[in-house]
Amino acid sequence: MRHASRLVAPLDDEAVRPLRSGDRVLISGVILTALDEAHRRMTEYARENRALPFDLEGQVLCYLESSPTPPGRVCGPIGPVASGRMDPYTPLLLDLGLKGMIGRGRRSPEVIDSIVKNRALYFGAAGGAAVFLSGCVTRVESVAWPEMGPEAVFRMRVEDFPVVVLVDARGNDLYRDGPARYRGGGSPPSKEGLTGGP
């Protein structure tokens, strides 16, 4: 089994190009979190030709929900939400320079086409591992629209945040291709695929 690749966010074409659907990846660096309301706001800004309060170029957006932060911790447990909720907004954001997304679940054909067009990646994070994932976060700060509360855009600094490539820049989709790959004699997904273990 291949070891996990390492990426430093924000991303560029050189970082994206070699990755394939099914690859395990450990992300370090700076990523942004944004949910439904923030996606609606970003889309409004773009359609009104208003500058966003942060740069989307090369960024990785996480679709994460967080529990309250316990004393002495950087953040509370975090877990991915269904990415399809963001599908109506995603092609436009990819056109604005977004390079990666982290969530769970399938993406629409329109989003996959836009991922290919913009040479981007869609990653999956492990559900049910909220406490573990929060341990990969070393810093969190609000960067836009704090009046939205938990729906605001946050900047997170992460170290070895474990994900799997679900859709690569060629349009290969693990949800579509994975079962056929397994039936053809490939290996099934493993727990280590999401934790970066040996």
pLDDT in tens, 187-197: 544 434 444 44
Note the pLDDT of residue 57.
Answer: 97
pLDDT the model gives residue 198:
37
Question: Using CA atoms, how far apart are residues 144 and 27, in angstroms rounded to an integer?
Answer: 23
The pTM (predicted TM-score) of the whole model is 0.88
Domain of 27, CATH number, reads: 3.20.130.10
- Rounded Cα–Cα distance for residues 115 and 56 (Å): 15
Identity of the residue numbered 117: K
Domain count, the chain: 1
Q: Average pLDDT, stretch 142-168?
A: 96
In which domain, by residue range, is 149 found?
Answer: 5-185
133: in domain? yes
